[in-house]
Amino acid sequence: DIQMTQSPSTLSASVGDRVTITCRASQSISNWLAWYQQKPGKAPKVLIYKASSLESGVPSRFSGSGSGTEFTLIITSLQPDDFATYYCQQYNSYSRTFGQGTKVEIK
């Protein structure tokens, strides 16, 4: 099974900061990676799919990059609505695996 490792687990940042979250796969997944945002008590919301494609309606301050085993989610200017937990998710054949999550907290 493919394992996904996110870093950091927790991130403290201020409004306006540039935030970078990394996700590493235990083996190559090409560009089959998605990023989600989840707020407490709510279902996850997809932000990025196929590593770098921005989901419709998602603000352009969110961007994704990477391929193979290393992936990055960048928020260029953190907004109050962005304080949440972020998950990466890989797709390899029928199987899906999520990273353990990165909680973005207010500094």
Partner 1 sequence: EVQMVESGGGLVQPGGSLRLYCAASGFTFSSYWMSWVRQAPGKGLEWVANIKQDGSEKYYVDSVKGRFTISRDNAKKSVYLQMNSLRVEDTAVYYCARDNYYDRGDFDYWGQGTLVTVSS
Task: Give residues in contact with partner 1 (CB under 8 A).
Answer: 1, 32-34, 36, 38, 43-46, 49-50, 53, 55, 87, 89-91, 94-101
Indicate the residue among 17 and 101 with the shorter CB distance to partner 1. 101
Smallest gap from Cβ 96 to partner 1, in A, equals 4
Smallest gap from Cβ 64 to partner 1, in A, equals 11
DSSP per-residue letters across the chain: ---EEEE-SEEEE-TT--EEEEEEESS--TT-EEEEEE-TTS--EEEEETTTEEPTT--TTEEEEEETTEEEEEESS--GGG-SEEEEEEEETTEEEE---EEEEE-
Indicate the residue among 69 and 90 with the shorter CB distance to partner 1. 90
CB under 8 Å to 56, separation ≥6 — which residues? Answer: none
Smallest gap from Cβ 94 to partner 1, in A, equals 4
Indicate the residue among 83 and 91 with the shorter CB distance to partner 1. 91
